[in-house]
Amino acid sequence: MRKLVQTCLFAFALLTSAFANNVEPNPTQPAPSPLEGRWDITVDMAGKMAPSWLEVRHSGNHTLIGQFTSVSGSARPISEVIFKDGKFSFEIPPQWEKGDGKFKLEGTLTGEKIAGSVTTPEGKTFPYTGVRAPSLRRTAAPVWGTPIKLTDGNVIKGWHAVGENQWIAENGILRSPKSGANLITDEKFNDFKLHVEFRIPKGSNSGVYLRGRYEVQVTDSKGMEPSLDQLGAIYGFLVPSEMMAKDPGEWQSFDITLVGRMLTLVTNGKTVITNQEIPGITGGALDSNEGEPGPLYIQGDHGPVEYRNIVITPAK
């Protein structure tokens, strides 16, 4: 029996070696393409500057892939980025855009900048420019300053609406009774800790944008699996480890720490994202200037929602 086992093991080793010799990938790492990396993009949509974002990375020896965030919607995968002689292009299926065509982007790399055009699924073409996104890596731990309460009393202070304002302040609660304008803080912030409480009715939807660029989803998600577009997700990028949603109509809470790109999120008392990197802006961002401070903004255009006890503690 021992001899039989030894023979079988020897035969298995020979087969394993032969298979490895036949399929082992080339161990030589390809030189990185100059297009690889993350890009903060601004699209000129008939005079209105709108933010987008692009990431390009290599797959195997000679293929470039990536992901892209348009002016709306979530980050979506790019199966191949074509790059030759300083010019590049890709196309992806439509997401929330109107039209049945492909979303197309083409451009030219010049040093540390890109420029070109985007064509929407309905056939409209707009020019864009882009710069390399900053890493936002911090070299020292933050020193926290004085907490700032952003909800109080029956007057909206420290916020402004984009569009016709439907928001109402009542006993320290910011209430949006119907879909309408988004609400943005007058002050801008860099790194911070944030406590926010919210309440939404069944089927409603909102979001909290950090620095005006990274949306934390506020959705009616009780009983759902964690996903990229439900409660506690960084829309399109980070999925929470657990779904901690309460029933619609109940008060819920986020406790958020944002340092550079690194995010920790506590939902209803449970840590569901621990020091994870946010790669880039999410759809609906105010701009793509990731190296700059930005405001908080709360989404009021996706249904009724209430917020209270919004307290931000900025880093000094």
Neighbours of 20 (CB within 10 A): 9
Question: pTM for the full model?
Answer: 0.89
- CA-CA distance, 270 to 250, in Å (whole number)? 16
Instruction: Give the torsion through C-alpha atoms of 120, 126, 130, 136, to 10 deg.
Output: -50
218-260 per-position pLDDT tens digit? 999 999 999 999 999 999 999 999 999 999 999 999 999 999 9
Neighbours of 242 (CB within 10 A): 13
**CB burial of residue 186 (10 Å; 0-12, 13-18, 19+):** exposed
- Average pLDDT score over the chain: 92
The answer to whether 58 and 33 have CB atoms below 8 angstroms apart is yes
- CA-CA distance, 199 to 310, in Å (whole number)? 13
80-97 per-position pLDDT tens digit? 999 999 999 999 999 999
Query: If pLDDT is split at 50, 70 and 90, which confidence band does 308 have?
Result: very high
Which pair of tokens denotes residue 163? 């569009």
Residues 6+ apart with CB under 8 A from 164: 180, 181
The answer to whether 253 and 206 have CB atoms below 8 angstroms apart is no
The answer to whether 216 and 206 have CB atoms below 8 angstroms apart is no
pLDDT for position 142: 97
| Sign of the C-alpha dihedral computed for residues 237, 242, 248 and 253 taken in this order | negative
Which pair of tokens denotes residue 308? 């209270």
195-222 per-position pLDDT tens digit? 999 999 999 999 999 999 999 999 999 9
11-26 per-position pLDDT tens digit? 445 444 544 455 455 5
Assign residue 47 a region (left: φ > 0; alpha: ψ between -120 and 50; beta: otherwise): left
- CA-CA distance, 225 to 301, in Å (whole number)? 25
Residues 6+ apart with CB under 8 A from 89: 81, 82, 104, 105, 106, 107
Task: Work out whether strand 125-132 and strand 37-45 pair parallel, antiparallel, or are unpaired.
Answer: antiparallel
**Nearest Cα residue to 179 out of 158, 155, 206:** 206
pLDDT for position 130: 98
The answer to whether 244 and 232 have CB atoms below 8 angstroms apart is yes
Neighbours of 100 (CB within 10 A): 10
Element (H, E) at 279: none
- CA-CA distance, 225 to 271, in Å (whole number)? 16
> Hey, what amino acid is at 244?
M
pLDDT for position 28: 67
- CA-CA distance, 42 to 56, in Å (whole number)? 17
Q: Is the pLDDT of residue 289 over 90?
A: yes
User: Secondary structure of 157-220 in the HEC alphabet?
Assistant: CCEEEECCCCCEEECCEEEECCCCCEEEECCCECCEEEEEEEECCCCCEEEEEECCCEEEEEEC
Query: If pLDDT is split at 50, 70 and 90, which confidence band does 31 have?
Result: confident
